[in-house]
Amino acid sequence: MATVVSTGSAAPDRAFPVHVLTVLEPMFVFTFKHRRGVTLFSAIWLSAVLEPVLYLLALGLGVGSLVNRRITTDGQTMNYLHFVSPAMLAVSCMSGAISASVFSFYTRHKQHGMFRMISTTSITTREIVVGDWLWEILRVSMLSGIFVIVLALAGLVGIGNAVVAFAATVLINAAFSAVGIGLAMLLRGWQDFDIVTVGQTVLFLFSGTFFPVSQYPTWAQVIAELTPLYHAIELLRGITIGDYSSGMLVHAGYLVLMTAAGLVFATRRVDADLHA
């Protein structure tokens, strides 16, 4: 009679969701059960409510009153506030995701050695990276949801498009969080955070946030259209005005590929560092 021997090779795949939740648990407990975590999270939520309101006031009553009220891009004509508000939402997603993933991952891994301790268990590097990535998406997406609600209350996006816009912010947060974890593994020390900040500022100013990139020279326009923030802005801008063209698939596809590439790079870098 033949004897069947189980190699147990499928166990890691079956355990993957459980291990990811194990990585998420200490972050969730600190944020929602510890007094310090609750206080900090409440302050973050307050800032998330104030941020879009201040942006809309500054751009609607301030900058918007100084520029042409109508602006045309990709054949669509809209007022300046409708043009710039989805861009500010995209910038908020980028800034929140990059800051959360880079600063938090660097602190937990490089300063506290949290993931090195976790790696001594049966949890794999891939599970560590995915767990941290999902936590950053959860945190930043809650804040992005507040921004979308404010836009809807201000009449800058319809309810149906607002729901789609929120789904798009989750994708944007996922892409920038994945890249952020990879960037955290490239930092040599705290002084390198300035480089990340400068990079975000360059994207903020030159990715079509305040005016169409078509106003650039051809060579600069090509560079701008290769940046991730440009695709995030164009995706949200199209959704908020209800322009669901085939070009939206290009923007979404770019962010999906960015997410996959970021996770693969981050996993390899973290694995190399943990086993160095």
Give start and end residues of each alpha helix (H) in the chain. Answer: 11-33, 35-57, 80-106, 114-118, 125-153, 159-184, 193-206, 218-225, 228-240, 247-274
- pLDDT score at 7: 38
pLDDT in tens, 54-101: 777 776 666 656 565 667 666 677 787 888 889 889 988 898 888 878
- pLDDT score at 227: 93
- Cα(36)–Cα(38) distance, integer angstroms: 6
34: its two tokens: 């510890």
Give, in order, the Cα–Cα distances in Å from 266 to each of 96, 110, 178, 222, 258: 18, 14, 7, 27, 12
pTM over 0.85: no
Residue 140 has pLDDT above 80, yes or no: yes
- pLDDT score at 210: 82
Residue 43 has pLDDT above 80, yes or no: no
- Cα(226)–Cα(221) distance, integer angstroms: 9
- pLDDT score at 66: 58
- Cα(233)–Cα(251) distance, integer angstroms: 9
- Cα(121)–Cα(199) distance, integer angstroms: 36
- DSSP symbol at 63: G
Average pLDDT, the chain: 78
Residue 24 has pLDDT above 60, yes or no: no
Cβ–Cβ under 8 Å, residues 232 and 238: no
**How many percent of the chain have pLDDT more than 70?**
69
**Mean of pLDDT values over 222-246:** 91
pLDDT in tens, 152-201: 988 889 999 999 999 999 999 999 999 998 888 887 777 778 888 888 88
Q: What are phi and psi of 72, to 5 degrees?
A: -115, 130
